[in-house]
Amino acid sequence: MEKIKVGVIGASGYAGAELVRLLLSHPNVEIGGIYSRSYTGKPISDLYPGFQNVSYLVFDDEDSVIHNSDVIFASLPHGISEKYAKKCFDANKKFIDVGADFRLYDEEDYKEWYNLPYNEKELHKESVYGLSEIYKDKIKDASIIGNPGCYPTSVALAMYPILANTLQSDDHIIIDAKSGVTGAGKELSEGTHFPTINEGFHPYKVAQHRHTPEIEQSLSDFAKKDITVTFVPHLLPVNRGIISTIYCKVNPEITLEAIHKLYCDTYIDHKFVRVLPLEKVSDLKYVTYSNYCDISLHLDKRTNTLIVVSAIDNMVKGAAGQAIQNMNIMYGFEEDAGLNYIPPSF
Ligand SMILES: NC(=O)C1=CN([C@@H]2O[C@H](COP(=O)(O)OP(=O)(O)OC[C@H]3O[C@@H](n4cnc5c(N)ncnc54)[C@H](OP(=O)(O)O)[C@@H]3O)[C@@H](O)[C@H]2O)C=CC1
Ligand SMILES: CC(=O)N[C@@H](CCC(=O)OP(=O)(O)O)C(=O)O
């Protein structure tokens, strides 16, 4: 089968480099080019030694990368991707934004939480929110994808079966989430400095994180009514992984066994969502480097509270892996092509 050409804009960053790592072993693609503002002309192995003797890719200029590719991934800080999306759209190339610029349906939400307007309004009408398991039919025909955020991916997959079947008894949901430090990107900062985070553990942006509207957008879409969330992220002193522990009130008649069956049935054809057997608890160790989302289910009968624990690797299912899964859906490749990594055993 002829391979398609893919380009990565922002390949010097963490999510961009993770895209390159995964794409290099994808059976249906060839890398058409990689771009970074700061490293033009340098081999990627200079920046990330793991590519030594594996890839001889050299950072190129943005126009060559777009020209040489059929589909372009952008992995940039928010507010920058529209410019690249426009160039790709005008050149009839597909565009997958790993950042946040095409995730929110409503520009007012984007203005409120990101302090920026949409400059290319027409492009937002073309874009599809790329939560692979749930919006596959729309993703298939899309030319622009807004790849979901890392925390929102972990929460949306965890809550879809309950909300789509209206089993919640309250429309407010509490999310206690923890992320590894790679979630903050490559740029050095006091907040991610080793002595600051090592042997510490703290919440941040308590109830004011920019993923709040994205999470509410998905959950409300599933429930077909407004769902609100209280979302508190924490910074875990590990490199990779997200655990979201989610609390949702449910009707007293429902049993944990029935909920478990519903989740298993919902995800039976979706290999990347693993509903764990009852009694097991999701652990980020067993999803790292992989595209899996592990979901465990627990019921506090005393308070009729369902507790869903969702674990993903923020760099893979939370960013590069899901972006590649979306590309696979767009091109009709096997959905798991290039994504068959088994998590480590210990
Ligand atoms: N890390 C994660 O877990 C996740 C990240 N994301 C999203 O992916 C995107 C990238 O994140 P991440 O990789 O962590 O960030 P990094 O800070 O590690 O990388 C940012 C990249 O953007 C490039 N860049 C920065 N400013 C500009 C600019 N003005 N013009 C062109 N390129 C620029 C940098 O290139 P240069 O070499 O030129 O500086 C670098 O390649 C963000 O939108 C982030 O929110 C999504 C899900 C998870
Ligand atoms: C630990 C950490 O700092 N995480 C980042 C979220 C990860 C990320 O990059 O967010 P997107 O999914 O929107 O791209 C944060 O809280 O802003």
Is it true that 4-148+317-331 and 151-314 share their CATH fold? Answer: no
Rg of the chain, C-alpha, whole Å = 20
Active site residue 264: no
128 three-class SS: strand
- pLDDT by residue, tens only, the chain of 346 residues: 789 999 999 999 999 999 999 999 999 999 999 999 999 999 999 999 999 999 999 999 999 999 999 999 999 999 999 999 999 999 999 999 999 999 999 999 999 999 999 999 999 999 999 999 999 999 999 999 999 999 999 999 999 999 999 999 999 999 999 999 999 999 999 999 999 999 999 999 999 999 999 999 999 999 999 999 999 999 999 999 999 999 999 999 999 999 999 999 999 999 999 999 999 999 999 999 999 999 999 999 999 999 999 999 999 999 999 999 999 999 999 999 999 999 999 9
For residue 158, give the nearest of 307, 286, 15 by alpha carbon.
307
- Ligand 1 centroid distance, CA of 82 (Å): 14
Kindly report the pTM of this predicted structure.
0.98
User: What is the pLDDT, as a whole number, of residue 66?
Assistant: 98
CB 242 within 8 A of CB 183: yes
Angle separating helix axes 107-114 and 212-223, nearest 10 degrees? 150
State the complex-level ipTM: 0.96
Phi-psi region of 273 (alpha: psi -120 to 50; beta: other; left: phi over 0): beta
**Cβ 13 under 6 angstroms from ligand 1:** yes
Q: What is the pLDDT of residue 1?
A: 73
Instruction: State the helix-helix crossing angle for 256-266 and 150-164, rounded to 10 degrees.
Output: 110
Please indicate whether residue 318, judged by its CB atom, sits closer than 6 Å to ligand 1.
Answer: yes
pLDDT value, residue 2? 84
Domain assignments of the chain as residue spans, ordered by start? 4-148+317-331, 151-314
* Burial of 56: CB neighbours in 10 Å, binned 0-12, 13-18, 19+: exposed
Amino acid at 281: V
Q: Phi and psi at residue 59, in whole multiples of 5°? A: -65, 130
Query: 205: CA distance to ligand 1 center in Å?
Result: 20
Q: What is the pLDDT of residue 315?
A: 98
Q: Which CATH superfamily is domain 4-148+317-331 in?
A: NAD(P)-binding Rossmann-like Domain (3.40.50.720)
Residue 83 has, within 13 A of its CA and on its CB side, a CA count of 9
CA of 271 to the centre of ligand 2 (A): 25
Residues with CB under 6 A from ligand 2: 99-100, 149-150, 179, 183-184, 233, 235
Query: For position 128, what pLDDT does the model report?
Result: 98
CA distances from 109 to 116, 218, 313 (A): 10, 13, 27
Residue type, 146: G
What are the pLDDT digits (tens) for 25-84?
999 999 999 999 999 999 999 999 999 999 999 999 999 999 999 999 999 999 999 999
> Of 140, 16, 144, 138, nearest to 90 (Cα)?
144
Write down the architecture of domain 151-314 according to CATH.
Answer: 2-Layer Sandwich (3.30)
CA-nearest residue, atom 1 of ligand 2: 183
